Structure formats: structure tokens, C-alpha cells
Copies of this chain bind each other. A is one copy, B any other.
Amino acid sequence: MSANSRLTIAAHALAWIGLYQRQGHEVATSEQIATSANTNPVVIRRLLGELRRAGLVESRRGVGAGWSLARELESITLLDVYEAVEPGPLFAMHRTTPDQGCVVGRGIQPTMQGIYEGIEETLRHELARVTLENVLRDVLAAPR
């Protein structure tokens, strides 16, 4: 399928902010996070903007501006992040409506929709089991 890396980058940013704050800093800038993630600051600002709308982070403007966590890492799960940055469903239906004069064409969409909903529910459950605290701890446990 080759999906997008939005969830990965968002988790990276949150872990980075969390660690930075534990080192005594108040706010992190999109510039710093972009350097760590090796991407453009605007990409980070866009992603963090979505996380802010979801109530996961806060931003401050003006001099000494930047980003800070709105909730503890322990209370943020990958599901929170996933829902904040991934809008659509995992699997898509036909791009055009199937032939409604055909039995299969008529019934296939409700059928697949039902199956997909169940699968996405399972996916959400799995994502909810991992907190950003888990992620950061695992990151810091890496060799060296």
C-alpha cells in the first residue's frame, strides 16, 4: 500500500518535545524538531497544528515562542495521534459506483464496509495500547 509517514513524524515530534521538556526547557521550536526529523519546519508546523486542534500540544507565539505538550506523554496514545493526523479510512471503496444492476455490484460495498469497520476497530484498539511514554522509553533504550 505504501502509506504516508504522518503518524511516524507526529510521534517523532511528540517524543522530541517530551524529552526536551524533561531536560528543563519550556518550549521546542519547529526548527529544532525539523532538524531532528530531517524535514522542513513548515511540515512540522502543519502536523503540530493538527495535534494542537486535537488538544495534544500547545503553541506560543512571539519571542521565545514554540511548542509544548498539552498533556503528559503517559496520557497520549498512538490512537490519539492517529485520529489527529489521519483523516480517511484505511481501505477505500470503488472510485466509481459499481453496476447497481448486478447482484455483486449492489451488495459488495455494504459488505466490504462492514468488514473494514471491524478491522479498523481492531486497529484502533491496538493503537490505543501504546502511549507516547512507551515510545520515548523504547527510543531511549536503544543501544549507545
Interface SS of A by simple majority: helix
B8 touches A139 (CB 8 A): no
Considering only residues 107-137 of chain A, those with a C-beta below 8 Å from chain B are: 107-108, 110-112, 114-115, 118-119, 122-123, 126-127, 130, 135-136
A41 to chain B, nearest CB (A): 14
Q: Can you name 12 A-B pairs with beta carbons within 8 Å?
A: A2-B89, A3-B88, A5-B91, A8-B93, A19-B104, A39-B96, A104-B136, A107-B139, A110-B142, A111-B135, A111-B138, A123-B123
User: Taking beta carbons and an 8 Å cutoff, which residues of A are in contact with B?
Assistant: 1-9, 11-12, 15-16, 19, 35-39, 78, 86-99, 102-108, 110-112, 114-115, 118-119, 122-123, 126-127, 130, 135-136, 138-142, 144
